[in-house]
Structure 1
C-alpha cells in the first residue's frame, strides 16, 4: 500500500478504528461508522449498566476526520470499487476493509415480533444488550422503576454480565439458561457451580435447563409492552424488562450481497483477505480457519496484522488464543473469573485443580503431555498472567506448582 491508495473501512468499532490508528496519519483512510455517537468500547457496557462507569469512560481514541459518523454502507460495487451509503454519498476505494462486527441473536420466541402490521419492532421493555443505546435505554428504565422485575434470557458471558449489572442496580433479576450450566462454553462444571453460587448471593434467581417459549405482551396505545416470559413447561415469569443475551452472529449482509465467500462469517485467509483480493475483513464479521471469534482480543490482533500487510510488511494471522475475563461485583468481595483454552479434558489428559471454599477460589488446568491446553480460575487471578503466557506460547511446562500458586506472578 502506498499513501496515495485509499483504504475504506466499513465499521467504526474496535477493529476498524484500531486498523485506522495502526495505518497512521500518512495513510489515506476513511472509516464509515453507522452509530452517530462517539466510538466506544463495547467490552465496558456492563460496567456502564451497573453504574460503575460513566459512558464517557468507554470512549475509544478519537480517530479525527477519518471517521464519518452516522453513515451506513448499503451496497458494495466490486466492479467499480465503490461503496454506496444511506445518505446518498458514494465512497471510492482501492482497498476495502469490512469491520461490520456482529448482530445480537434474537431467538425465535412467540410474541417477540408482531405477526402483522408493526414489522420487526421489539415490544417495549424488551432489549438486546449490544450497543450503547441498548445500555442507556436499560439504564433509563432502571432509573424510573426501582425494584423492576428483569428476566435475562441466556446464561453465557453476555447474559451473566447483564444479570450481575442489573442486580447491582437493584433490579429483581431472573436468569433463564437453556443449557445445563452457566457459561458452558468457557467453564467446567465445578467452576460453573461456583459462579451460580455467586450470582445467587447477588440476588439473581438462576434457572438452568430452562427453555423460553415466548413473551407475553399487552397493547399500550399503538405499542406493545412486555409483561412476562413464558417457559416451555407452561410456567410464566412476570417481567417488566426482558434482556435478550443469546449470543451474537457475524454481520455479513453487505458481504453476502456483494457475492463474497461466506461461512459463519466472511471467509478470510492469513492476510485477512476475502475471496476478492481488494477486500479484507477483520473483527467479529471475519471467519479465519473455521473460527469466528466475536471477542475483542482477536479483533485487535487481526487489525494489527492487516495494518502490517497493507503497509507491505511481512505479517500473517495464525489465529488467536483468546482469554475470557470477567469481574462480578459483590460489595467488598468481587469475584474475578478467567478461562482459556479447553477447560474440559479429553481422554488421556491430566487435570490439576486447587480449591479453597473459605476464600472462594478455584484453579484448574488441563495438561496434554507437557503442554498447558486450558484452564479456569475463579476468585484469585494473581497467576493468570503466567498461565496465559505459557498457554499462548505453547511452551513446555517446567514447574506447574509455581504457575498455579500465588508465586506464579501475574
Structure 2
C-alpha cells in the first residue's frame, strides 16, 4: 500500500493499517520537515509554540520525507517519484491535501511568473509559517488578504507579535461561512480591540512594489491597492484567501475530479484500487478542508481496507464543528470574560447552518455585560446549526444534539448552562 501525503489524514490512515500488521505501507511526504499539525501554525506564528510542539507522532520508516510523487501509472499500478523511485502498489491512497489560493492580483508574481515578491507570503505550510515568523517585527505594517478562519488566525498572530495589521475582506463580514452577522460583528470588535484595522466589502486589485537590492533582480512589496483606488502601505502581505484541493495527480491519472477527487462511501475513486481522503477528497458533493473530517475519513478507510468496518462501516459524511480561541497575549492569557471589547481571549464555535432559512426558529441569547453571544437554528424539531462566542460551556451538549439529529421536545436547554431553569 502506498499513501501519497504525509499530513494528518495520510499518517492517520497509515498508522491504523500498520498497527495491526494489515498491510505493508509506504507514505510519501513532500515536505522535508517532521510531520506536524497544520492546525497549530498560527500559534507558532504568534510565538506561543515552538515548531517542535506541533509534531505528530513519529511514523518511523514507513514515511519517506522530502519525496514528491510526480505520476501515477494506473495500468502498471506504480507511483513515480521525483527522486527517480518507482513504487508498486496494490492499493493507493491519495491524501495530497490542498494548496493556498493565490488571487489574480496585478503584480503578484515576479516577471518569471513563479516567485512571489519579497514580503508576500502564503500561509499554509511550515515553511510559510517560519518565513513569516522570521519577517515579522514590532511596528511592521502588515496586510492580511482574506477574512475567513485562516485570515483571522493570521491577523491576530501577527498582532500578537506587535505588527500593525490591516485585514482586508472581500465579503460583507468576517468568517461569513461560519458566523452570522451579529457574531461576525462581535468578532470584528474583538479584533479591533487588538489593534487590527478591518476593511470589509473591499476587493484587492493589486500590489505595489519597488526594486529590492537584496533580492537581485527581484522586487519587494510596498503596498496593497484596493479596487476603489485606496492604497494600504505594507511591508508584509499575507495571502489567506482559502485553499484549493490538490488534484493534479488524480486528474493526470484520469480519475474523476470535480471540486475535489470524487469518492464513494468507501472512499474509492473512479479506480477502485485508488482511494482519496482529507482535503483533496470530494464526498457526496462536498470538500471539507478541515482536520476533523480528514481524520474521520482516514479511520473509515482503514476500517474498510482491513474489513473491520463491516457493512455499516461506510463513510457517510462528517458533521464538522469549527472551534477557535483568539488569544492576544501570551499563552493562556485571558480576561475571564471572553470580552470582545476587553482585549482578552475570545472563544468561538460554529457548527451546521448558523444562518436561518425562512421558516426556521431562532433562539438567541446575548449578554451585553459579558459580551457573549449564543444562537441556535431549529428547523422543525431538529437542531441544524449554531454559533457561540465568548462562552462555550454549552457547546458539547449542542454538538451532541446536532450530531444525533434527534427530535427536540424542549428547546429551553439549548443555550443556558442550567437547563433553562
Shorter chain as normaliser: what TM range? over 0.9
Question: 1:383–1:408: 8 Å Cα contact kept in structure 2?
Answer: no
Query: Counterparts in 2 of 1:370-409, with a 5 A limit?
Result: 370-407=381-418
Alpha-carbon distance between aligned partners in 1 of 2:394 and 2:235, rounded to the nearest angstrom: 41
Could you tell me how far 1:52 is from its partner in structure 2? 1.0
2:12 corresponds to: 18
Could you tell me how far 1:54 is from its partner in structure 2? 1.0
Partner SS state of residue 366, structure 2:
strand
Could you tell me how far 1:10 is from its partner in structure 2? 0.1
Which of 208, 215, 227 is residue 207 of structure 2 equivalent to? Answer: 215
1:140 corresponds to: 134
CA offset digits 1:118-168 (Å, max 9, x no partner):
2310001000000011111111011xx321100000000000000011001
Could you tell me how far 1:395 is from its partner in structure 2? 1.5
Structure 2, gaps ≥5 residues long: 335-343
Partner SS state of residue 162, structure 2:
coil
Could you tell me how far 1:31 is from its partner in structure 2? 0.3
The alignment's C-alpha RMSD in Å is 1.1
Partner SS state of residue 289, structure 2:
coil
1:4 corresponds to: none
CA offset digits 1:281-301 (Å, max 9, x no partner):
000000000000000000000
2:319 corresponds to: 321
User: Does residue 274 in structure 1 map to residue 274 in structure 2?
Assistant: no
Alpha-carbon distance between aligned partners in 1 of 2:48 and 2:414, rounded to the nearest angstrom: 32
Alpha-carbon distance between aligned partners in 1 of 2:99 and 2:80, rounded to the nearest angstrom: 21
Structure 1, gaps ≥5 residues long: 1-6
CA offset digits 1:352-402 (Å, max 9, x no partner):
000012111100000011100000000000100010011011112243322
Question: 1:382–1:408: 8 Å Cα contact kept in structure 2?
Answer: no
CA offset digits 1:303-341 (Å, max 9, x no partner):
000001100232201011100011111443210000000
Which of 8, 24, 29 is residue 28 of structure 1 equivalent to? Answer: 24
Question: 1:383–1:407: 8 Å Cα contact kept in structure 2?
Answer: no
Question: 1:386–1:408: 8 Å Cα contact kept in structure 2?
Answer: no
Please report the TM-score for the alignment, with normalisation by the length of structure 1.
0.96
Over 3 Å counting, the alpha-carbon distance change for 1:341 and 1:258 in structure 2 is: same
User: Does residue 309 in structure 1 map to residue 301 in structure 2?
Assistant: no
Farther-moved stretch of structure 1 (305-314 vs 150-159): 305-314
2:96 corresponds to: 100
Alpha-carbon distance between aligned partners in 2 of 1:400 and 1:60, rounded to the nearest angstrom: 41
Alpha-carbon distance between aligned partners in 2 of 1:359 and 1:51, rounded to the nearest angstrom: 28
Question: 2:159–2:328: 8 Å Cα contact kept in structure 1?
Answer: no
Question: 1:251–1:285: 8 Å Cα contact kept in structure 2?
Answer: yes
Alpha-carbon distance between aligned partners in 1 of 2:123 and 2:418, rounded to the nearest angstrom: 39
Alpha-carbon distance between aligned partners in 2 of 1:173 and 1:53, rounded to the nearest angstrom: 21
Alpha-carbon distance between aligned partners in 1 of 2:201 and 2:26, rounded to the nearest angstrom: 47
Question: 2:268–2:274: 8 Å Cα contact kept in structure 1?
Answer: yes
> How many equivalent residue pairs?
399
Alpha-carbon distance between aligned partners in 2 of 1:391 and 1:61, rounded to the nearest angstrom: 32
1:53 corresponds to: 49
User: Does residue 224 in structure 1 map to residue 214 in structure 2?
Assistant: no
Query: Counterparts in 2 of 1:4-403, with a 5 A limit?
Result: 7-25=1-19, 26=21, 27-114=23-110, 116=111, 118-142=112-136, 145-220=137-212, 221-313=216-308, 314=310, 315-331=313-329, 332=334, 333-403=344-414
